[in-house]
Structure 1
């Protein structure tokens, strides 16, 4: 256990440096850290009756990703820290990011990894957090004249969120 400079233990329930990353392979960790961004991009992209969204939707998604820093889950906080620390410039193409079939397959793969390696509470927190990113993007009005932000998602958005939730094992 790590201790602060003054010798006191870190705040209750939180380790200074999460040990959660050590149990994942590089490929598994890449999957877990890339999935929230892929979900954000897919939720903001047009497709299957869903209109394109603008900057406000992207900002809402980024805010939802950043909200993971306050989660009571070492795994979610570690993933957020890794996302913000990543500067490798090797981002997948936009087409790869928005392909729904590939995204749902990645969600199912992440669920399998979490089932094998994560604490059940961390697994549930991660999966709910990832879906919350998409939900927050889908609540942003897609174009002028649409319902104001925060309104229930359109039927196409609900189908997208339902499929995402099913792939994440939440449905």
Structure 2
């Protein structure tokens, strides 16, 4: 019997991990489970025209990744479960200063993999979830002594989100 990440049985009609993950090669699966973290790091990294988000960005991004556990998509839930199942010693290091060109190329590659192998609804849910991680981080701007998560995106953030969305095939 399968169990959810928290150990309780999955809700009726939902599997803890989809059986369809077997259709992905090891390299494809690694791409799908590493992309949300890469997007988080790239979005949180200080860049000209973007506010310094500090620790708040990381916490917000982690929360956005974890929100995938409640997704209606089997694929998104399986990716989140795989992210949390990785041990620190076996996880590849996330580059602190992710190159935007490489990140966008990885997004395009993930979109191609999903287009070939995933159910269209799961593909859309995954790509929207990854985009939501970036969008939530962009709205996280620490104020003096407070956490503000509802800030409008700066022009630089909007350009970044537009490029990310295009690479993910969302626009």
With the length of structure 1 as denominator, give the TM-score of the two structures: 0.87
> Contact 2:33/2:82 (CA < 8 Å) preserved in 1?
yes
Q: Name the counterpart of 1:43.
A: 43
Provide, for residues 128-155 of structure 1, a one-character-per-residue CA deviation record: whole Å limited to 9, x for no partner. Answer: 000000000000116659x943121111
Whether 2:153 is the aligned partner of 1:158: answer no
Provide, for residues 7-47 of structure 1, a one-character-per-residue CA deviation record: whole Å limited to 9, x for no partner. Answer: xx963331244212101000000000000000000000022
Q: CA deviation at 1:52?
A: 2.9
Q: Which runs of 5+ in 1 are unaligned?
A: none
> Contact 2:52/2:141 (CA < 8 Å) preserved in 1?
no
- Name which one, 1 or 2, has greater alpha-carbon Rg: 1
With the length of structure 2 as denominator, give the TM-score of the two structures: 0.87
Q: Name the counterpart of 2:65.
A: 65
Whether 2:52 is the aligned partner of 1:52: answer yes
Q: Distance in 1 between matches of 2:17 and 2:141?
A: 38
Q: Name the counterpart of 1:91.
A: 93
Q: CA deviation at 1:51?
A: 3.2
> Contact 2:43/2:137 (CA < 8 Å) preserved in 1?
yes
Worse-superposed segment, 83-92 or 147-156: 147-156
Q: Distance in 1 between matches of 2:25 and 2:85?
A: 18
Q: Which runs of 5+ in 2 are unaligned?
A: 4-8
Q: 2:81 aligns to what SS in structure 1?
A: helix
Spell out the pairing of 1:14-29 with structure 2 (5 A cutoff): 14-29=14-29
Q: Name the counterpart of 2:6.
A: none
How much is the aligned-residue C-alpha RMSD, in angstroms? 2.3
Q: Distance in 1 between matches of 2:43 and 2:134?
A: 5
Q: CA deviation at 1:50?
A: 2.1
> Contact 2:136/2:149 (CA < 8 Å) preserved in 1?
no
> Contact 1:141/1:148 (CA < 8 Å) preserved in 2?
yes
Q: Distance in 2 between matches of 1:159 and 1:3?
A: 42
